[in-house]
Each structure stands twice: as structure tokens, then as C-alpha cells.
A and B are shown apart, each in its own frame.
Chain A
Amino acid sequence: MVGWYIVSRDHDARARRSEIRELLKITRELLTKTEKDAFNYWTSAGKPDESRILAFDIKQNLNRLSHAANVLNRHSENFRVLDVMKQYRQAVTGGSFEGASRAALNRGDERLMDIAATAVEFDGRLELGFEAIYCSRGLRAIFRLTP
């Protein structure tokens, strides 16, 4: 009975870890996509219809990214990603985003550097969160097995 409980519990823990890893993968993909789209958007004034479609895509993917960040944060407070999510959304869609008179930015513009820096910070927090939960548990598991 006890053995069954331990096996079941460990199986659930491994399944949960896999789910979180998968969610992290999706989150990172959204982060990469929005960063690339944001760079394209801000460096081209573009045709109005094309700009509008790209802006819509960016906001929709930020919405998905934010949802993922909230799920991770609810799973564990070690995923400290809500503040950086806010900063990332501000960097990508603040200022004159969707402004009628928006002009294309130069590649060295501060906004673009801000987007890139915040994306790196976001990615780092995702990895740190995962390591804080699962790597420490792994070490604890190893310690218990040591006679």
C-alpha cells in the first residue's frame, strides 16, 4: 500500500514536470515569435493593413504569453515572471504602438533594445524557475537515497 502510494506519487511528479517543461517550451516559442514580430513591426511603418494585421498578431500572442506566465506563476512562486511579463508588454506595445502617425524606428533605437533585453530577462526567469523547483528536488531525492 505504501509502496503503491510512493510509486503513484513519483509518477504524478514526473508527469507534472513534463507538463511544465512543455509549457515552458510553448512560452519560449511565444516569446521568440513576439520579439521577432515586434522588431519587424517597429522597424517598418508598413502599409496600414499589413501593420494592423501584425499589431493584432502581436497582441494576440502577448495575450497567450501572459496566460502561460500566469499559469506558471500559479504553479509555483519560483516562476517570478509576472513583473517581467508586464515590462515586456510595455516594451513591445507601449508608446505609439498602433499610432496612426507611427514612424519606423532605426535598428539601434532604445525601444528595440528594451524589447530584446526584456525578452532575455523573461527567458532567464523561466529557466531559473524550473531549476529552483526541479533541480533542488532532484538533489533532495539523491540525498535521501544515500545510506
Chain B
Amino acid sequence: MKTQKTINLALQFSRFPGGRFNTDGEFNGEKFREKFLKPALDENKSIVVELDGTAGYGSSFLEEAFGGLVRELHMDPADLERRMTLVSNDKSLISEIWEYIKAAK
């Protein structure tokens, strides 16, 4: 298992993320979770997700991408807290994402 991976959402996924599922749009939350977050967490001890640089996030995207790690993939919120670091100049965004992770069942 590698040590750490950094994911820059805007550069590596899309500057225009939106929607929850494939039916909602190309750069949706489910896709980001399945194609970026899950493989990175499977292959690395820790990950860093850089959130700045997009045109903006909808809460539906954030909940599906990050809350879905717990709700759909049954990851442990405490383990995610240890292994995943969110980076953004927007503190409210980071707070919102962790709220989804802790609330998801």
C-alpha cells in the first residue's frame, strides 16, 4: 500500500462537478466517489483531497461523493477522519463534507 495520494478535484476530475448520479451529468458525485475516492483509499494509507478551483459545489454532489463513502461503501467515518484530509480555503465546505460523512448510515 502506498503512503499518500493527493487528489485535486478541479484539475483531475472537473472544474464543474454537479449532480449525484450518472443520469444527472457527466461529473457527478457517484463517479467521483467510485473513480477517484474509493481507488485512492484502497491503494493508499492516506489521501488529501484539494477542493478549491471549481466553479462551485452543490450539496447534492458533496453528499453523494463523500457521504456515499459511508452510506454506499460502508467505510468507517472514524477511519476516514484518520486517513482523509480535505484542503480548501472555504472552511464551511470542509465542515459540510465531514457532517455528511458522520451523518451517513
Contacts and interface: CB of A to CB of B under 8 A. Distances in A.
Given A90-B96, A99-B19, A73 B91 contact: yes
A57 B57 CA distance: 11
B71 to A, nearest CB: 15
- Give the one of B54, B93, B95, B99 with max A CB within 10 A: B93
Interface in B47-104: 54-61, 63, 89-93, 95-96, 99
Given A56-B55, A59-B55, A93-B59, A85 B24 contact: no
A18 to B, nearest CB: 24
A89 B91 CA distance: 13
Q: Is the interface of B mostly helix, strand, loop or mixed?
A: loop
- Give the one of A56, A62, A86 with max B CB within 10 A: A86
Contact of A98 (B19, B96, B99): B19
Q: How large is the interface on B (under 10, 10 to 19, 20 to 34, 35 or more residues)?
A: 20 to 34
Given A59-B18, A70-B89, A82 B95 contact: yes
A55 B23 contact: no
B25 A98 contact: yes
B33 interface: no
B1 to A, nearest CB: 33
Nearest to B91: A82
A106 interface: no
B20 interface: yes
Interface in A44-80: 52, 55-56, 58-63, 66-67, 69-70, 73
Interface of B: 16, 18-21, 23-25, 54-61, 63, 89-93, 95-96, 99
11 contacts: A55-B18, A56-B16, A59-B18, A59-B58, A83-B92, A86-B99, A94-B58, A97-B60, A98-B20, A98-B60, A99-B19
Interface of A: 52, 55-56, 58-63, 66-67, 69-70, 73, 82-83, 85-86, 89-90, 92-101
CB-CB nearest 9 A-B residue pairs: A59-B56, A63-B56, A93-B58, A98-B19, A94-B59, A85-B92, A100-B23, A86-B92, A82-B92
